[in-house]
Structure 1
Amino acid sequence: MEEYGFFLTYNNQDEVVRLPVNPEKIEINSSGDGKNYTIIGLGEINSIQPNKLREITLESFFPGQRYPFVVGRELQTPYYYVEMIQKWMETKRPIRFVFSSLQLPDYALYGNTSKQAVSAKAERFTSNRAFMAINMAVSIEKFDWTLAAGESGDIQFKLSLKEYVFYRALKVKIKKDKEKSTVAKKRTDTKETPKTYKLVAGDSLWKIAKKQLGDGSHYKEIQKLNNIKDSELRNLPIGMVIKLPQKEAAK
């Protein structure tokens, strides 16, 4: 016998819900994300991009009693299914949507069971060559439900799911450019060292300024830089080492 099953599982099958009434149809929206461009001399072209995330919409109801068309051996109360889905939504974590077509023996697909029972029955499904039509990680985007009056407590619902892609944020390490840092260091070390001059016989500050700075009138800058008093100008000792101002500063 062949039977179809719709399942919602959470946290790697720690919690499993089988929809007790199979939806009459499921809508799967799968679209590309192509970009259109206009090329001179060629016209409009389409650049194919990776597909957008698939979206699934399905409608059914949680029965308040066991109708002949209810699938699975176990049937929970309608509010059990509602509370389970709402709880999953609040965790802000993805779930897994599974739609399968199975060749079954005289037992039904697993329903709302413990993890141990799920694992045991899953092994039996594998031995019976279960064909998985859809097995997709999804986020619950929207869950609408309505208590149907006069229908034995049935709860009608509409579920909107969106494909979920697992990702992980990576730490970014910023590498310093050794070449740039070396250049920067060199630039900071390019401060010119003040030049010096050793006096010889016959020297005066005017002569030194004329010879070293190109203009004798800069002798006052040399005098100020070396703290030489006016009374010492005519008796500068031979061999005295004096500092010279930079040419740019002397202009």
Structure 2
Amino acid sequence: MDFILSDPEGPELQLPVNPEEVTIRREKQYETVDIINLGEIDFPTGEKVKDITFSSFFPMEYDPSFCRYSDLPDPQQAMNRLTAWMISRKPVRLNITGTIINVPVLISAHTSVFKGGYPGDVYYDLTCRTWREIKVRTAAEAAASLSSTGGLKAQRQDLKPVAGEYKVKSGDTLWAIAKLNYGDGSRWKDIYSNNKKIIGPDPDLIYPGMKLVMPK
């Protein structure tokens, strides 16, 4: 098992001494709403970003009993690299071979410790947060996407499909029927013209159960 941090645009850092343990913190995200007479209610909204935490050290001298390789980085330079990655606000990839952890992360915090009796060695605690890429489109890109999908044709159709025959219900008017079926109340005149023999001389006098032939 090896711990490797790599920058897509730059260097790679393999930890010379493996941490004894790795802690992965998972947490559910909630939105709390205060409801009158009920108090606070939690609504789950998703999963928070995972924290990956571990501790180890950069040795000044190679020791085959715990070092993963012999060409060790300078401990101070290694810590400076971690600091630079943290300040850059850009993700690096954390790969722990032999495990499922191979993800882009942001280095959110690290702590350096110098211990007496171990000159040159630098001990550290490192916290990484899994990184999620967010794609933001410009207005021009959104307009181009809408155009490519047919514009208004891609929008949800709210109108009821026009039927060949409509059965009048209680409370109906020709205007309401035209609005429901065509999205335009003014088309009541077309419905009346198509059913004048059934309705009679007064377009306001329609009755429940009356069957109207709908114009195409």
Q: Which is greater in Rg?
A: 1
Identify the structure with bigger relative contact order (alpha carbons < 8 Å, sequence gap 6+). 1
Change (3 A) 1:165 1:75: same
Query: Aligned pair 1:23/2:2, yes or no?
Result: no
In the other structure, the counterpart of 2:125 is 158
Contact 1:94 1:138 in 2 (8 A): yes
Contact 1:53 1:162 in 2 (8 A): yes
Contact 2:29 2:44 in 1 (8 A): yes
Distance 1:73 1:134 in 2: 25
In the other structure, the counterpart of 2:74 is 77
Q: CA deviation at 1:80?
A: 2.2
Contact 1:65 1:152 in 2 (8 A): no
Query: Aligned pair 1:60/2:27, yes or no?
Result: no
Change (3 A) 1:46 1:89: closer
Contact 2:112 2:124 in 1 (8 A): yes
One of 88, 96, 101 as aligned partner of 1:99: 96
In the other structure, the counterpart of 1:141 is 108
Distance 2:34 2:84 in 1: 49
1:19-52: per-residue Cα shift (whole Å, max 9, x none)? Answer: 111111111111111456799xxxx986443211
Contact 2:75 2:121 in 1 (8 A): yes
| TM-score (normalizing by structure 2) | 0.56
Q: CA deviation at 1:70?
A: 0.7
Report the 3-state secondary structure (helix = DSSP H, G, I; strand = E; otherwise coil) of the residue aligned with 2:123. Answer: strand
In the other structure, the counterpart of 2:47 is 51
Distance 2:70 2:62 in 1: 10
1:108-147 equivalent positions in 2, closer than 5 A: 132-147=99-114
Distance 1:100 1:154 in 2: 25
Query: Over the residues paired in the alignment, what is the CA RMSD in angstroms?
Result: 2.8
1:100-138: per-residue Cα shift (whole Å, max 9, x none)? Answer: 12xxxxxxxxxxxxxxxxxxxxxxxxxxxxxx4201111
Distance 1:148 1:154 in 2: 8
1:185-232: per-residue Cα shift (whole Å, max 9, x none)? Answer: xxxxxxxxxxxxxxxxxxxxxxxxxxxxxxxxxxxxxxxxxxxxxxxx
Identity percentage of aligned residues: 25
- In structure 1, runs of 5+ residues without a counterpart are 102-131, 176-251
Letter in structure 1 aligned against 2:108: E
Report the 3-state secondary structure (helix = DSSP H, G, I; strand = E; otherwise coil) of the residue aligned with 1:82. Answer: helix
Report the 3-state secondary structure (helix = DSSP H, G, I; strand = E; otherwise coil) of the residue aligned with 1:98. Answer: strand
Distance 1:82 1:47 in 2: 41
